[in-house]
Structure 1
Amino acid sequence: MNDKNTNSRLGRGLAALIGDVPPIEATRVPSGDGIRRLPVEFIVASPNNPRRHFAPEELEDLTNSIREKGVMQPILVRPSAVDPDQYELVAGERRWRAAQRAGLHEVPVIIREVDDREALELAIIENVQRSDLNSLEESKGYDQLMQQFGYTQADLAQVIGKSRSHVANTLRLMKLPANVQQYVTDGALSAGHARALITATNPEALARRIIDGGLSVREAENLAQKQAQANDDVGHSTKAAKAAKDADTLALEKSLSDLLGLKVAIDHKERGGKIEIKYRTLEQLDDVCQRLQSR
Structure 2
Amino acid sequence: MAERKRGMGRGLAAILPESGAGGPELRELLISQIEPNPDQPRKHFEKGPLQALAGSIASAGVLQPLIVRPVDGDDGRFEIVAGERRWRAAQEAGLERVPAVIRSSPSDERLQAALIENMVREDLNPVEEARACAALVDDLGISKEELARRVGRSRAAISNLVRLLDLPDDVQSLLEKGELSEGHGRAILQVDDQGKRSRLGKTAASEGWSVRELEGKTRGTSGGRSKRAPSKGGRISAEEKAAMADAEDALGEALGADVRVRKAGQGLRAEIHAEDMEELLALARRLK
Task: Give me the TM-score of the superposition, normalised by structure 2.
Answer: 0.45
Identify the structure with the greater helix proportion: 1
Provide the TM-score with structure 1 as the length reference: 0.44
